[in-house]
Amino acid sequence: MGGRNETSVTYFILLGFPTTAELQVLLFSALLLAYLLTVLENFLVILIIQTNDSLQKPMYFFLGNLSFLEIWYVSVIEPKMLIDFLSQDKHISFQGCMTQLYFFVTFVCTEYILLAVMAYDRFLAICKPLRYSLIMNHQFCAQLTAGCWMCGLTTSSIKLSFIAQLSFCDVDKINHYFCDISPLLNISCSDFSLAELVDFILALMVIMVPLCTVVTSYICIMFTVLKIPSSQGRQKAFSTCSSHLTVVILFYSTTLFTYAHPKVMYTYSANKFVSVLYTVVVPLLNPLIYCLRNKEVRLALRKTFTCTRHT
């Protein structure tokens, strides 16, 4: 790394999306609307689940946790991104960057595992219906959720312990709109091969193990559903899985493109675009998918607003 001066970096500059001033305002307005809608949608999902007795089931317990997770998930990234659209000063302190990275990785890893837990829940409900209520009791659901968070926090702590030890050079510009691992590795003047290897191995574990769980669960579900004699029964069984499967496909496909490779290539424009999909678009769509494709949630939503109008 000759020719690069190793310094004690106190802040980074997030380059974001270089555009004209008019386009910056337009993007700010669109992203602000998306952020507010995402928080509102997920808050409504939590409220509906908490206030409707018909939704006091394991599936909706996990959905409520997913909505809670995504409120914090978008809040780690989007407020800073919105500020940078209107400000000439796009710097973020070293401590602020590490904090943003820590919570972002925590929430992403937790969501991977939580989606796998939700697939396992659907597997038990359809393939093991007689044992479902016995296995998926409230205590076990709480333990599964706590396990998701613990895995996310542990994975993030390990990754950050390697990233924070790196030295950074006079090039303090991060070619991204938030602090992520690969852009930080790109501007490090230390030997980051170990940090990159640890990041890759942990990313594979956190992505592939839950993904295998999801795929295995849905293969078993498919074979079980195909054995149901009536078409109405098959449709009902599939309807309980369709919203979750849609969310899994959206989240996994966008994040796999970015994280399931060992090479440092996160700064490319294509990767920035994909990052917008899973940090802005997917969290915005998830509550809509669950509400529009799930009959029980739609009925509970209608009941909640009907009661509100009458009070």
pLDDT tier at 215, thresholds 50, 70, 90: very high
Pairwise pLDDT comparison (270 vs 129), residue with the higher score: 129
Separation between Cα atoms, residue 2 and residue 48, nearest integer Å: 58
Q: Which of 42-46, 118-122, 137-141, 176-180 has the lowest mean pLDDT?
A: 176-180
For domain 11-310, say whether CATH 2.102.10.10 is its number: no
| Percent of residues, the chain, with pLDDT higher than 90 | 40
Looking at 11-25, 113-127, 140-154, which range is the least confident one?
11-25
The pLDDT of residue 259? 67
Q: Mention every residue, 6+ apart, whose C-beta is less than 8 A from residue 33.
A: none
- Residue 308's pLDDT band (boundaries 50, 70, 90)? low
The mean pLDDT of the chain is: 85
What is the percentage of the chain residues whose pLDDT exceeds 70?
91
pLDDT given at position 5: 46
Instruction: List, in sequence order, every residue forming a beta bridge with 7; answer none if it has no partner.
Output: 168
In order of 166, 186, 205, 249, 309, the CA distances from 264 in angstroms are: 15, 7, 18, 24, 54
d(CA 268, CA 180): 13
Look at residue 262 and tell me whether its pLDDT is greater than 60.
no
**CB–CB of 248/217 below 8 Å?**
no
Report domain extents, the chain.
11-310
Q: How far apart, in Å, do the first and last CA atoms of the chain sit?
A: 68
**Per-residue pLDDT at 14:** 87
Q: Which of 2-11, 190-199, 254-263 has the highest mean pLDDT?
A: 190-199
Residue 1 has pLDDT above 60, yes or no: no
Q: List b or e across 50-79, with b for residues whose CB sees 16 or more CB atoms inside 10 angstroms.
A: eebeebebbbbbbbbbbbebbbebbebbbe
> Tokens 């959720």 — which residue?
145
CA distance 178 to 77: 6
